A and B are shown apart, each in its own frame.
Chain A
Amino acid sequence: MLITQLKAKETIASLIDGKKVFVINCHGCKEVHFPEKEAVELQKELEAAGKLTGAITTDYICNPDNMKLRLEKHMSEIEAADVVLVLSCGVGVQTIAEYLEEKKVCAACDTYPMPGFQGVTPLEYNCDQCGECYLNLTGGICPITACSKSLVNGQCGGSKNGKCEVDSNMECGWERIYRRLKQLGRLDVLKCPTQIRNYATDEEVSK
């Protein structure tokens, strides 16, 4: 589940470079985001220029089994194309690229990071999956995501009128934490020893 945005028109034009194109739209995460209007426009233009050998709209192309079943009946259209243009997140593009190994498979979208929302239907909270939950020391407000600087030992001192110095539209995470702890009568937890974040737990599992 990722936010995708169509690449710039010129970039896509250079990818296609006047060649014949087969387009695959992935609507799997459409309830989160998919640039549907722009995608339709792009396909109309390609069709008008006589460059489109075919187009399908499907979902969850990151699931290789069902993706293969759905592409099967379009194989001749895919073969007739010089480029397979995929409108999906990076996972989808890679899945297609591996399946159509001999074809030039291109990503028409850039995938934007949604830190803290990996794989989950988007909900209100952020979690950076730091592997060493700090919520017990912060009244249940995450300092990694609520503070621009992900500070774990208190405010940086740069906030003005409760607003973050990095983004003045954002509330200072540590001020929120302070207020929540005060409300809960637990300001004493601020006296706990300094926390050192272990960045080594952050990674590598997926590899």
Chain B
Amino acid sequence: MQNRVICFLFFLQSAEAEKIQKTDKQQVCESIYKEGEQLENYTKYKLKSSDELTSLLADKDNLFIIACNKCFKEFETTDEPDCGEFEKIVADQGKTVTGSAKVDFLCNKIQTEKKLQDMIPEGTENVFVISCGLGIQTVADLAGKPVYAASNSLNYTGHHGMALTKKSCDACAQCYLNITGGVCPIVDCSKSLVNGQCGGAKNGKCEVDSNKDCAWEKIYKRLEKQGRLEEFLNQPVQMRDYSKVNFKVINDYVKSIRENRLDGYYGGVHPSERKEFSEHLPLERFPDPETVVIPLSMHAGAPANPVVQVGDTVKVGQKIGEAAAFISSPIHSSVSGTVTAIEMHGHATRGECMSVVIKSDGKNTLHESVKPHKDLDSLTPEEIVDIVREAGIVGMGGAGFPTSVKLKPPKPIDTILLNGCECEPLLTADHRVMLEFADDVIFGLKAIIKTVGAEKGLIVIEDNKPDAIELMQAKTADISEIDVVVAKTKYPQGAEKMLIKRVMGRQVPRGGLPADVGCVVSNISTTKAISDAIRKGMPLVERVVTVTGERLKKPGNYIVKIGTNTKDLIDYCGGVTGDDITIKAGGPMMGFVLSDVNVPIMKGSNGIIVVDTDHTVEQPCIKCGRCVDVCPMELSPLYFAKYADEQKWQEMKDMNVMDCVECRSCEYICSSKIPLVSKIKAGKNAVRGMK
């Protein structure tokens, strides 16, 4: 800030020099949008002058060139001109270039470090970097060779807003906006006066720059409009604190948030949890529905084939659909009653699906097949796999992969990770299951350990559920093969690849499965279902569902029969408030929007949420780089949006779109509100079709 004062004096002395500088920069900062729109190009560097570069190059040869693809500008996939310009200067000097590379977000040390491996060929003596100072320092730290800057950073003091509008903030640490009607005197007044106008303005224009409105006149007008002149004039004189902030303070701060954010695995986000609506509410059994609609597809793989007919009488736990393939699952009735129809019916994730409609007789008579199996010690692994398959157990976290297939991994397994993270905001179903069915969950884990022959079972719980951690620790204290791991809350920790990385430090290979690194990950509710299947002989016919959200009247956690209508569930919870609402099956991050709530609860329905509709429109990407910063799979989501719009599917495939776990972190953080996940899904579909 002292610089600013000096700068100002200097400015008065050398207006001519300043003018030249300004023209230079204005070219770079040229508005990339047509008049009326406010998006500006804040590209942060510019190639040094050719004279300076020529003398810099004089005694250097065998050069490798690294150029950063720039940020905070309209995102184009065409090459930036700087690298070509520099290469031309180098060629004019007759220098040998060992190679060049163009990198996104060069300042992202973790990603740049990976990219730099094997990038710089043998024989390179000097590395030239075209980037802002951040990128140059990153490379200088990592390259192990002399690194030179071929560019100068440009200063856009005050442009901190993510939207690249013309609003500025000088971060003075003493916000004056409250006394100035929201017009900033530091940036809008040429002299940064904080106690009123200098008196030099003519016809409302600044005396320093006659194209500029006098900020203090703007402030006066706005306050007059709001009737706040009195209040302003009574303000005591403001004294500005010019004390300089030590770079180290900032650096330490940044380092600490960096470490915090990257703890366990790269990327991730921290959306507001809002679990307080329902985390304290004990499980309640949802009243028996009169009719259930049970879809034949509630799992990954082939839909089940119905084995009942209209008019048949069925009982609770009776098989009504047979697995149709290896990757498939049987379906069971959740009520006793009569099959009234087998027809297409609305489905939360597939639009429509063949479903068995059963009218309940209200008696809940158990089917003869529902009886306890042998105790765990006498069951063989094969028998457990059969029980799990016949009970129709699939991953209840949403993906619906048949658990019996997971229990026969192709590779040796040493560790079972029980996923108690429940990192989705709002949802509390697994949390309540851990609290109220701790013994069942532990039994289920023991069964999985036995089935796959693992050495260890780890129950991983995020630190926002201290009661569950305490209970599980107490319950497993004397079980040698089971431990509780407390993980710092971060979304999407519950995604299996992230969980394995966080807990085991192992990296599941690209396109690989947890079994490739000796792990099996199981969901809490699924594990409880395994226990029910063994101990009670009860197939998967009910599950715990969190019904919540700021627009639902009475949130709660319910034990719900599969096939119960979602609308009944919402009505039972007092209905919704207001009309501009969004209902999702699942959590706010990975859930599916329900345009029609006349759909059944399924094996993977961990939550129904009713939230405010968010009104935004997609805007052009500004290359802020946040999606790259948060992607836990270390991908570059901004390219997926770009390529999807241009239908460049091969390019999308080359950027590893198939690795995306659709956690929606990129879409959550996107400053332009681009619907990245739907674009990614379109890309994935197209890539699948390419094979």
Instruction: Choose the segment among B19-27, B313-321, B642-650 that binds chain A (4+ C-beta atoms closer than 8 Å).
Output: B19-27
Contacts of B173 in A (CB 8 A): 110-113
| Selected contact of B171 from candidates A28, A60, A72, A111, CB within 8 Å | A111
Contacts of A118 in B (CB 8 A): 156-160
Interface class of chain B by DSSP: loop
Closest to A40 in B: B272
Q: Is B141 an interface residue (CB 8 A)?
A: yes
| Selected contact of A70 from candidates B3, B153, B614, B624, CB within 8 Å | B614
**Are B257 and A170 in contact, with the CB atoms below 8 A?**
no
**Are B177 and A122 in contact, with the CB atoms below 8 A?**
no
**Are A94 and B226 in contact, with the CB atoms below 8 A?**
no
Distance in Å: Cβ of B15 to nearest Cβ of chain A: 10
**Are A30 and B151 in contact, with the CB atoms below 8 A?**
no
**Are B156 and A206 in contact, with the CB atoms below 8 A?**
yes
Contacts of B18 in A (CB 8 A): 200, 204
Q: How many residues does chain A have at the interface if contact means C-beta atoms less than 8 Å apart?
A: 92
Complex: how many Å from CA A82 to CA B147? Answer: 57
Mask: chain B, 142-178; 1 = CB below 8 Å from A; 0 = not: 0000111101111111111111010111111111011
Q: Is A203 an interface residue (CB 8 A)?
A: yes
**Are B162 and A62 in contact, with the CB atoms below 8 A?**
yes
**Are B160 and A89 in contact, with the CB atoms below 8 A?**
yes
**Are A97 and B212 in contact, with the CB atoms below 8 A?**
no
Q: Is A105 an interface residue (CB 8 A)?
A: yes
Interface class of chain A by DSSP: loop
Closest to A134 in B: B149
Complex: how many Å from CA A147 to CA B183? Answer: 34
Q: Is A50 an interface residue (CB 8 A)?
A: no
| Selected contact of A206 from candidates B11, B138, B158, B253, CB within 8 Å | B158
Q: Is A179 an interface residue (CB 8 A)?
A: no
Whether A101 contacts B225 in the complex (CB less than 8 A), given A135-B149, A200-B10, A207-B187, comes out as yes
Q: Is A148 an interface residue (CB 8 A)?
A: yes
**Are B178 and A106 in contact, with the CB atoms below 8 A?**
yes
Contacts of A120 in B (CB 8 A): 71, 107, 134, 625
Distance in Å: Cβ of B166 to nearest Cβ of chain A: 9
List CB contacts (< 8 Å) of B446-490 with chain A: none
**Are A31 and B10 in contact, with the CB atoms below 8 A?**
no
Q: Is B331 an interface residue (CB 8 A)?
A: no
Q: Is B270 an interface residue (CB 8 A)?
A: yes
**Are B181 and A97 in contact, with the CB atoms below 8 A?**
yes
Give 5 closest A-B pairs by Cβ, nearest first: A97-B182, A140-B140, A127-B133, A90-B169, A62-B161
Query: With A126-B134, A140-B141 given, can you name 8 additional A-B contacts, CB distance below 8 Å?
Result: A31-B261, A89-B171, A91-B168, A95-B165, A101-B225, A124-B254, A129-B132, A136-B56
Listed A/B pairs (16) with beta-carbon separation below 8 Å: A31-B669, A90-B184, A97-B222, A117-B250, A124-B251, A125-B109, A127-B137, A130-B153, A131-B155, A133-B48, A166-B246, A203-B8, A204-B22, A206-B155, A206-B159, A206-B168
